[in-house]
Amino acid sequence: MSEKVLMKGNEAIGEAAVQAGCQCYFGYPITPQNELTAYMSKRMLEEGRVFIQSESEIAAINMCFGAAAVGVRTMTSSSGPGISLKQEGISYIAGAELPVFYANVMRGGPGLGNIAPSQADYFQCTRGGGHGDYRVIVYAPSDVQEQYDYTMLSFDIADKYRMPVMLATDGILGQMMEPLVLHKYKDPGDLPSKESWRLGDPATQEPIWITSVRLGDGELEEHNFKLQKKYEEIAEKEVRFEETALNDADIVIVAYGTSARVAKSVMEMALADGIKVGLLRPITLWPFPEKRIREIAEKVDNILTVEMSLGQMWEDVRLAACGACRVHLHGRTAGGVPEETAIVDQIKTILSSKGDEIIRNF
Amino acid sequence: MERIFTMPEAMKPEQTLYCPGCGHGIAHRLVAELVDEFGIRDRTIGIAPVGCSVFADKYWNFDVISAAHGRAPAVATGMKRGRPESFVICYQGDGDLAAIGTAETIHAANRGEHFVTVFVNNAIYGMTGGQMAPTTLVGQKSMTCQLGRDPAIMGYPIRVCELLKDLPGVAFMARGSVDSPKNVLKTKKYLKKAYSNVLEGKGYSFVEIVSPCPTNWGMTPVKALEWLRENMLEHYELGVFRDCDAEA
Q: ipTM of the assembly?
A: 0.95
Q: Which of A65, A209, A212 sits opposite B78 (nearest CB)?
A: A65
Alpha-carbon distance A52 to nearest alpha carbon in chain B (angstroms) = 9
Chain B partners of A210 at a C-beta cutoff of 8 Å? Answer: 63-66
Number of H helices, E strands in chain B: 11, 9
Q: Tell me the three state secondary structure of residue A292.
A: helix
Q: Taking CB atoms and an 8 Å limit, are A52 and B111 in contact across chains?
A: yes
Average per-residue pLDDT for chain A: 96
Q: Is A87 on the interface with B (CB under 8 A)?
A: no
The pLDDT assigned to A326 comes to 97
pLDDT, tens digit, for every residue of A197-224? Answer: 999 999 988 999 999 999 999 999 999 9
Per-residue pLDDT band for B163 (boundaries 50, 70, 90) equals very high
CB contact (8 A) between residue B71 and residue A65 = yes
Nearest CA in chain A to B88: A200
Buried/exposed code over B208-224 (b: 16+ C-beta within 10 A; e: otherwise): bbbbbbbbbbebeeeeb
Nearest to A90 by CA among A79, A101, A80: A101
Strands A277-282 and A241-244: antiparallel
Model confidence band, residue A1 (pLDDT cutoffs 50, 70, 90): low
Query: How high is the pLDDT of residue B218?
Result: 95
Residue in B66, B88, B107 closest to A213 by CB: B66
What local confidence, expressed as pLDDT, does residue A354 receive? 85
Task: Please measure the distance between the N-terminal and C-terminal CA atoms of chain B and give it in whole angstroms.
Answer: 46
CB pair distance less than 8 Å for B78 and A56: no
* Whether the predicted pLDDT of B109 surpasses 70: yes
- pLDDT mean over A87-113: 97
Element (H, E) at B39: none
pLDDT band at A273 (very low <50, low <70, confident <90, very high): very high
| Distance to chain A for B198, nearest Cα, Å | 15
Helix (H) / strand (E) element for A285: namely strand A284-286
Domains recognised in chain A with CATH numbers = 3-237 (3.40.50.970), 242-361 (3.40.50.920)
**Contact (CB, 8 A) for B97 and B188:** no
Cβ count within 10 A of residue A174: 30
- Supply the pTM of this predicted model: 0.96
What DSSP state is assigned to residue B218? T
pLDDT of residue A361: 87
pLDDT averaged over every residue in chain B? 96
pLDDT in tens, A311-339: 999 999 999 999 999 999 999 999 999 99
When scoring B12, B50, B63, B106 by the number of chain A Cβ atoms within 10 A, the one with the most, hence best to mutate, is B63
Write out chain A residues lying below 8 Å of B43, CB-based.
200-202
As a whole number of angstroms, the distance between CA A359 and CA A342 comes to 13
Which residues of chain A lie closer than 8 angstroms to B40, CB-CB?
A: none
- Given an 8 Å threshold on Cβ–Cβ distance, is A200 in contact with B67? no
Q: Is residue A355 scored above 80 in pLDDT?
A: yes
User: By the CB < 8 Å criterion, does B28 face chain A?
Assistant: no
Name residues whose C-beta falls within 8 Å of residue B40's C-beta, 6 or more positions apart in sequence: B87, B199
Helix (H) or strand (E) holding B84, with range, is none
Q: Taking 80 as the threshold, does the pLDDT of residue A146 lie above it?
A: yes
pLDDT tens readout for residues A59-78: 999 999 999 999 999 999 99
Tell me if B134 sits within 8 A of B94, measured CB to CB.
yes
- Return the CATH number of the domain spanning residue range B24-247: 3.40.50.970
pLDDT-derived band at A133 (thresholds 50, 70, 90) equals very high
Q: Per-residue pLDDT tens for A233-261?
A: 999 999 999 999 999 999 999 999 999 99
Eight-state DSSP code of residue B51:
S
pLDDT in tens, B186-209: 999 999 999 999 999 999 999 999
- Phi and psi dihedrals of B187, rounded to 5? -65, -40
Across the interface, whether the CB atoms of A55 and B43 are under 8 A apart is answered no
pLDDT of A167 above 70: yes
Helix (H, G, I), strand (E, B) or coil at B132: strand
CA atoms within 13 A on the CB side of A332: 19
